Amino acid sequence: MSDIVIVSGSPVEVSRSQSILDYIGSILEGKGISVECVSVREVPAEELMSGNFRSSKLNEITEKLTAADAVVVGSPVYKAAYSGVLKCLFDILPQDVLDNTPVLPIMTGASISHLLALEYALKPLLSTLKGKPLKGIYYLDSQVDKMAAFPIQDEDLVNRTKKQLEYLVEQINTGKSFS
């Protein structure tokens, strides 16, 4: 099983948050960490909309998250919170699916005024699922080029991203040394 699972909450195929998650995945793999990716886009819409708790796709995602040493969750800001489809997915996952797991939250948004969506929307959701959210990072659309191999266009943000990933990996290693 993978060390880190990356969850993408954008319903859009070519997405800013997805491009950052891909970049994060490549940094983690460069550190020798095994990474698995999950996207809201892979869950059939009727299963999300009907709250199908018995969905085989859902079981697969639950197994990945339960086995993960750490998780990265990314979402676009939609109407000052995370995307509705990410909430639909988390609504039908077991309530302790992130049990004691370090989680790095990231969000992309068009406006700096919704920076606090990270604090007041995404982090509480992750805590409800018993995850341990790290500080997290908010990326403005103007700082992200979703078509570029290195999507983060601001050097300070690149450094902050790398720092948060170092911290996430540190959390995994600390957790392992106590188990």
- Residues numbered 88-127 forming contacts with ligand FMN, rule: CB under 6 A: 108-111, 114
Q: How far apart are the first and last CA of the chain?
A: 17
Q: Which of 3, 5, 7, 17 binds ligand FMN (CB under 6 A)?
A: 17
Residues contacting ligand FMN: total by CB under 6 A: 17
- Residue 135 near residue 166, CB atoms below 8 Å: no
Decide if residue 21 touches ligand FMN (CB under 6 A).
no
> Which of 18/164 has CB closer to ligand FMN?
18
CB of 122 to ligand FMN, least distance (A): 12
Decide if residue 142 touches ligand FMN (CB under 6 A).
no
CB of 116 to ligand FMN, least distance (A): 11
Q: Which of 4, 6, 7, 18 binds ligand FMN (CB under 6 A)?
A: 18
> Which of 33/85 has CB closer to ligand FMN?
85
- Residue 164 near residue 104, CB atoms below 8 Å: yes
CA distance linking residue 141 with residue 48, whole number of Å? 28
Q: Which of 45, 49, 80, 116 binds ligand FMN (CB under 6 A)?
A: 80
Kindly give, in sequence order, each residue whose CB lies less than 8 Å from that of residue 60, ignoring residues fewer than 6 positions away.
none
CA distance linking residue 162 with residue 94, whole number of Å? 30
Q: Which of 5, 10, 86, 126 binds ligand FMN (CB under 6 A)?
A: 10
Binding positions for ligand FMN, rule: CB under 6 A: 10, 12, 15-18, 76-80, 108-111, 114, 141
